[in-house]
Amino acid sequence: MAKLKLYGDKVAVCHQCGGPIGLGTPKPFCPNCDEPLPQDTLCLIPVLYGYVDEAHRNAIDMKVTEDAPVQEKADGATQAYEPVSEGGIARVVGGLIIAVNVIGAITCIFTLAKYKSYDPEFPSDALFAKTHFNPGLVIAFIAWGLNGVTFGYLIMKIGSILRHLERRIH
């Protein structure tokens, strides 16, 4: 008898040949007999989740919602809540990074990039002072803010991916 292929930890068994289906199976087919894997098995393998049809995805999402722990409020009402996860934390941190960078860039532009020039005829009179923005500093602060926004957005996307994977594992 030929040795059966197994990619990673066993998560299911092929209904055709009885061979093991591993967590790292690279194709939506049994690695031993090339029989298409059923939708329920595809849902268990993160790499193959893209092959799952919409009906099964919705069923999984409903099951995840139903399995969520229920928390009772003070008024007696109950609500399902998601436990704190690494993905959720990453999304919050990404949003905070974006907010801090946007606020920081705006603050720097209106405080550090401003300068006053005085009319030579009235050098000591503040009424004749004109406020200008240093274009080099303005561009630098805008670039700094955009860099931070991009970084924060990437962290938020990583958080979304982590949350998606955490839902599929549990």
Over residues 47-82, the pLDDT tens digits come to 776 677 777 666 665 554 455 454 555 555 554 445
Find which of 26-30, 47-51, 105-109 is predicted with most confidence, using mean pLDDT: 105-109
The pLDDT score that the predictor gives to residue 83 is 56
Q: Is residue 119 within 8 Å of residue 53, measured between CB atoms?
A: no
φ/ψ of 31, rounded to 5, equals -70, -10
Q: Is residue 42 within 8 Å of residue 59, measured between CB atoms?
A: no
Matching residue, tokens 């550090």: 112
Over residues 117-159, the pLDDT tens digits come to 766 666 566 666 677 888 888 999 999 999 999 999 999 999 8
φ/ψ of 46, rounded to 5, equals -55, -35
Task: Give the residue-averaged pLDDT of 22-31.
Answer: 82
pTM above 0.85, yes or no: no
Domain spans, the chain: 10-71, 82-169
The pLDDT score that the predictor gives to residue 1 is 46
The pLDDT score that the predictor gives to residue 123 is 59
